[in-house]
């Protein structure tokens, strides 16, 4: 591994890409610590030191922003608006015929969808920025802070507009930095920024586990968490790489004097075909009742019931609902992202067939059958990984957004594997042995 890194830096153009990517990462992390105008930096730091907010209502968004959300910096919203916009456009592609037609147009259509995603990202940033400013002004951002009402001293309309515009501009800059990494860096710009945001709090979360531990000054809890984390990483790598390869053969065709086809290939169906999307969907949906109860300020029975069962995240009702939603969204997302009928039609058009299966509708039914069979273990795997912080790490002092749990571990491992593949492919293009031996 280390020698592969050395070979990568010895290649001039690849070294430039790596250094360029590192430079963008430095800029991104610097922006995550620059406060926006109108916010009392001193009071924010007091609240961060005294209030337990990492596992609270805004923990997921704070994790995706690398801790910038609770510090209310210019990159407070991070990459979350872009992720949400991308998911919305992907879902609308199935519903709106115009977007589906653009997707089929190739590169030009993809460029237009990307442009729509940028516009929607800015709109969502304005909406989320307004919500964050309103939450900070009301004092609800930090639930147990003595100076939470003084986070935004000047609550005039002009200051509020400036704060929202600053965070919106910060989101646009984050989106631009991600695209720069994709175009001029090593690729997967948005994923790398997401990886950096999560990894930024990794060391601090580990040390917090050690400080809160009671056995041998916390070192026993620290060791248990490390062991559980390594086991989870091994499990995630194994499942993320697992796939069902459906063999496909193409009939030989004569066009003029040339022979085409006659080759064999396969359709790779991953066990976790949906990726991280079901966990994000389920987490976001479960935040809605808690947000409604918190902003309503009601003391009625329904508000107290929601706060007791869905705010802390360790109640059996919350755990069961979270697990069921993950399984449901896994099947839902696979159903809209993989169309067996379209795949079967394309195979039939080019003379391809699955051995033992007739072309056309029987092929589509067979693909649907296989996809449903492998989605079940994939969805159960996602649900179990997402519940590890609650079931195993919470008694040790870890919160819902601990780096070894749920969403974060899936993103860290997935982006890490994809980045290694990107560097490996570029090394192999230059006649090297590759990144992994």
Per-residue pLDDT tens, the chain, 437 aa: give them.
566 667 777 778 888 888 999 999 999 999 888 889 888 888 888 877 765 444 445 666 677 777 777 788 899 888 888 988 888 888 888 788 888 888 888 788 888 988 999 999 999 999 988 888 888 887 777 766 777 667 888 888 898 999 999 999 999 999 999 999 988 888 888 888 888 888 887 777 777 777 776 766 778 877 877 887 788 888 888 888 888 898 888 877 666 666 666 678 888 888 888 888 888 788 777 777 776 766 666 567 777 777 776 766 667 788 888 889 899 989 988 888 888 888 888 888 878 888 888 888 889 999 999 999 999 999 998 888 888 766 655 555 454 445 566 677 888 888 888 888 888 777 777 655 555 55
Q: Look at residue 289 and tell me if it is in a domain.
A: yes
| Partners of 266 in the β-ladder | 247
Cα–Cα distance measured from residue 247 to residue 354, given in angstroms and rounded to the nearest whole number: 6
Cα–Cα distance measured from residue 210 to residue 397, given in angstroms and rounded to the nearest whole number: 9
How far CA 83 is from CA of 27, 61, 90, 382, in Å, comes to 20, 11, 11, 19
In the block, which residue shows the tokens 């009702």? 317
Question: Does 47 share its domain with 165?
Answer: yes
Q: Look at residue 241 and tell me if it is in a domain.
A: yes
Question: Does 167 share its domain with 316?
Answer: no
Which of 381, 343, 372, 374 has the alpha carbon at shortest distance from 360? Answer: 343
Q: Look at residue 213 and tell me if it is in a domain.
A: no
Cα–Cα distance measured from residue 321 to residue 323, given in angstroms and rounded to the nearest whole number: 5
Q: What pLDDT, on a 0 to 100 scale, did the predictor assign at position 169?
A: 94
Q: What pLDDT, on a 0 to 100 scale, did the predictor assign at position 273?
A: 87
Question: Does 183 share its domain with 266?
Answer: no
Q: What pLDDT, on a 0 to 100 scale, did the predictor assign at position 401?
A: 45
Over the range 30-44, which residues count as b (16 or more CB within 10 Å of their CB) and which as e? ebbeebbebbbeebb
Q: What pLDDT, on a 0 to 100 scale, did the predictor assign at position 121?
A: 93
Q: Look at residue 122 and tell me if it is in a domain.
A: yes
Cα–Cα distance measured from residue 281 to residue 286, given in angstroms and rounded to the nearest whole number: 9
* DSSP secondary structure of 176-200: HHHHHHHHHSSS-HHHHHHHHHHHH
Cα three-residue angle 366-369-372, rounded to 5 degrees: 150
Asked whether the beta carbons of 271 and 244 are under 8 A apart, the reply is yes
Question: Does 63 share its domain with 126?
Answer: yes
Cα–Cα distance measured from residue 159 to residue 137, given in angstroms and rounded to the nearest whole number: 11
Distance of CA 134 to the CA centre of its chain: 26
Q: Which token pair is 161? A: 């507009």
- Tens digits of residue pLDDT in 377-436: 999 988 888 887 666 555 554 544 455 666 778 888 888 888 888 887 777 776 555 555
Question: Does 362 share its domain with 252?
Answer: yes
Q: What pLDDT, on a 0 to 100 scale, did the predictor assign at position 391?
A: 65
Asked whether the beta carbons of 59 and 192 are under 8 A apart, the reply is no
* Structural domain total, the chain: 2
Question: Does 165 share its domain with 127?
Answer: yes
Q: What pLDDT, on a 0 to 100 scale, did the predictor assign at position 44?
A: 83
Q: Look at residue 115 and tell me if it is in a domain.
A: yes
Cα–Cα distance measured from residue 333 to residue 312, given in angstroms and rounded to the nearest whole number: 27
Asked whether the beta carbons of 286 and 387 are under 8 A apart, the reply is no
Q: Give the CATH number of the domain where residue 38 resides.
A: 1.10.3370.10
- Supply the range of the domain harboring residue 362: 233-404
Question: Does 244 share its domain with 372?
Answer: yes
Residue 380 class from Cβ within 10 Å (0-12 exposed, 13-18 middle, 19+ buried)?
Answer: middle
Cα–Cα distance measured from residue 90 to residue 103, given in angstroms and rounded to the nearest whole number: 10
Which of 288, 322, 289 has the alpha carbon at shortest distance from 304? Answer: 289
| Start-to-end C-alpha separation, the chain | 8
Distance of CA 400 to the CA centre of its chain: 15
Question: Does 397 share its domain with 435?
Answer: no
Asked whether the beta carbons of 289 and 304 are under 8 A apart, the reply is no
Q: Look at residue 412 and tell me if it is in a domain.
A: no
Question: Does 62 share its domain with 152?
Answer: yes
Question: Does 246 share its domain with 179?
Answer: no
Q: Look at residue 414 and tell me if it is in a domain.
A: no
Q: Look at residue 422 and tell me if it is in a domain.
A: no
Residue 194 class from Cβ within 10 Å (0-12 exposed, 13-18 middle, 19+ buried)?
Answer: buried
Q: What pLDDT, on a 0 to 100 scale, did the predictor assign at position 171?
A: 93
Question: Does 188 share its domain with 66?
Answer: yes
Question: Does 264 share its domain with 391?
Answer: yes
Q: What pLDDT, on a 0 to 100 scale, did the predictor assign at position 53?
A: 44
């Amino acid at each position: 591994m280390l020698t592969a890194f050395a070979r990568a830096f010895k290649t001039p153009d690849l070294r430039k890409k790596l250094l360029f990517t590192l430079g963008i990462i430095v800029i991104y992390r610097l922006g995550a610590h620059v406060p926006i105008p109108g916010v009392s930096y001193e009071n924010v730091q007091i609240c961060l030191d005294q209030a337990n907010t990492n596992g609270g209502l805004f923990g997921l968004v704070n994790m995706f922003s690398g801790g910038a959300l609770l510090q209310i910096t210019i990159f407070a919203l991070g990459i979350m608006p872009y992720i949400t916009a991308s998911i919305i456009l992907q879902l609308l592609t199935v519903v709106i015929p115009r977007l589906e037609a653009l997707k089929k147009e190739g590169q030009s259509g993809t460029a237009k969808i990307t442009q729509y995603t940028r516009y929607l990202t800015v709109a969502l940033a304005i909406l989320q920025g307004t919500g964050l400013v309103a939450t900070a002004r009301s004092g609800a951002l930090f639930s147990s802070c003595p100076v939470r009402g003084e986070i935004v001293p000047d609550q005039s309309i002009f200051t509020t507009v400036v704060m929202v515009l600053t965070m919106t501009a910060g989101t646009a800059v984050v989106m631009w930095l991600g695209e720069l990494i994709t175009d001029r860096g090593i690729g997967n710009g948005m994923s790398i920024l997401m990886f950096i945001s999560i990894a930024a709090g990794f060391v601090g979360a580990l040390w917090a586990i050690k400080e809160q531990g009671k056995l041998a000054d916390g070192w026993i809890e620290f060791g248990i968490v490390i062991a559980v984390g390594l086991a989870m990483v091994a499990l995630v790598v194994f499942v993320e790489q697992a796939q069902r390869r459906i063999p496909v053969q193409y009939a030989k065709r004569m066009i003029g004097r040339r022979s085409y086809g006659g080759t064999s290939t396969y359709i790779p169906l991953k066990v976790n075909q949906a990726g991280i999307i079901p966990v994000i969907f389920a987490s976001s949906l479960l935040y809605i009742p808690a947000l409604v109860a918190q902003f309503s300020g009601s003391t009625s029975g329904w508000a107290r019931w929601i706060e007791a069962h869905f705010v802390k995240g360790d109640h059996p009702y919350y755990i069961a609902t979270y697990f069921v939603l993950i399984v449901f969204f896994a099947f839902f997302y696979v159903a809209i992202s993989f169309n067996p009928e379209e795949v079967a039609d394309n195979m039939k058009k080019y003379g391809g067939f699955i051995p033992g299966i007739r072309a056309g509708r029987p092929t589509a039914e067979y693909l649907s059958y296989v996809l449903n069979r492998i989605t079940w273990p994939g969805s159960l795997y996602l649900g179990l990984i997402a519940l590890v912080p609650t079931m195993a790490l919470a008694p040790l002092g870890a919160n819902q957004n601990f780096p070894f749990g749920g969403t974060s571990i899936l993103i860290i491992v997935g982006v890490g594997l994809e980045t290694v593949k990107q560097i490996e492919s570029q090394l192999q293009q230059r006649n090297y042995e590759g990144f992994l031996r």
